[in-house]
């Protein structure tokens, strides 16, 4: 079973996170930021992984540290759970429509971190979630997983729909990338390592 758990405590957040890439339950998300809980739940369901996230963050300041630090810990746990990445597809791409919005995620579990983020949000806040933190989360996730991640909103108006499309698309692209492929022997790279 490809699993990982991590506890991370700083002066700003205390995070307990565990995941299982080969199970779909449980999914329990408690960050204290309602919209972010919703997005992480969608991400877990569409990537078809068990995910538990519990956070005690400095929400009296704002939600920045909570959102960014979850991205850090989630990326670290995914990297650990994937191990040497032998036999997995490595690449994944998904387009997800969410009503009038269309989001795309394309990723490579290359061992090299990069984020291209092409999305504009007209609404600066959804509940306690600052929408600019969407990019901060994916930046932290990509760099700690050492993943090349391209995200784009092709069209849309509603900020909630746009962000939801990106989280769903990333989850679906990740599921494609981490899936074992019987045609791949060893690591899917001419280098022999990822």
CB 118 within 8 A of CB 105: no
- The model's pLDDT over 35-92, given as tens digits with 9 standing for 90+, comes to 999 999 999 999 999 999 999 999 999 999 999 999 999 999 999 999 999 999 999 9
Q: Taking 90 as the threshold, does the pLDDT of residue 98 lie above it?
A: yes
Q: pTM of the predicted model, to two decimals?
A: 0.97
pLDDT digits (tens, 9 = 90+) for 23-51: 999 999 999 999 999 999 999 999 999 99
pLDDT tens readout for residues 103-117 = 999 999 999 999 999
**CATH class assigned to 3-84+91-178:** alpha beta
φ, ψ for residue 8 (rounded to 5)?
Answer: -130, 125
Q: What percent of the chain has pLDDT over 90?
A: 97
pLDDT tops 90 at residue 1: no
| Domain-wise residue ranges, the chain | 3-84+91-178
Average pLDDT, the chain: 97
Residue 70: φ, ψ to 5°: -65, -40
CA dihedral 50, 180, 105, 48 (to 10 degrees): -20
Which pair of structure tokens corresponds to residue 141? 């996730």
- Candidates 148, 143, 151, 178; CA nearest to 46 is 178
Q: Which two tokens stand for residue 13?
A: 């957040």
The 3-state secondary structure of 71-126, one letter per residue: HHHHHHHHHHHHCCCCCECCEEEEEEEECCEEEEEEEECCCCCEEEEECCCCCCEE
Three-state SS for 151?
strand
């Amino acid at each position: 079973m490809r699993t990982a758990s991590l506890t991370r405590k700083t002066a700003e957040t205390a995070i307990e996170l565990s995941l299982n890439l080969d199970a779909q339950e449980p999914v329990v998300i408690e960050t204290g930021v309602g919209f972010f809980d919703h997005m992480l739940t969608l991400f877990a369901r569409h990537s078809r992984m068990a995910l538990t996230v519990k956070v005690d963050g400095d929400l009296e300041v704002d939600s920045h540290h909570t959102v960014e630090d979850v991205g850090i810990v989630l990326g670290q746990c995914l990297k650990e759970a994937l191990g040497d990445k032998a036999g997995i597809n490595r690449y994944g791409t998904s387009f997800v429509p969410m009503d009038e919005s269309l989001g795309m995620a394309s990723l490579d579990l290359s061992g090299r971190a990069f984020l291209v983020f092409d999305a504009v949000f007209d609404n600066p806040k959804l509940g306690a979630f600052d929408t600019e933190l969407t990019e901060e989360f994916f930046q932290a996730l990509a760099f700690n997983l050492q993943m090349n991640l391209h995200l784009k909103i092709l069209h849309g108006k509603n900020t909630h729909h746009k962000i939801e499309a990106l989280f769903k698309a990333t989850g679906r692209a990740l599921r494609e990338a981490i899936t074992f492929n019987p045609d791949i022997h060893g690591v899917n790279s001419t280098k022999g390592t990822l």
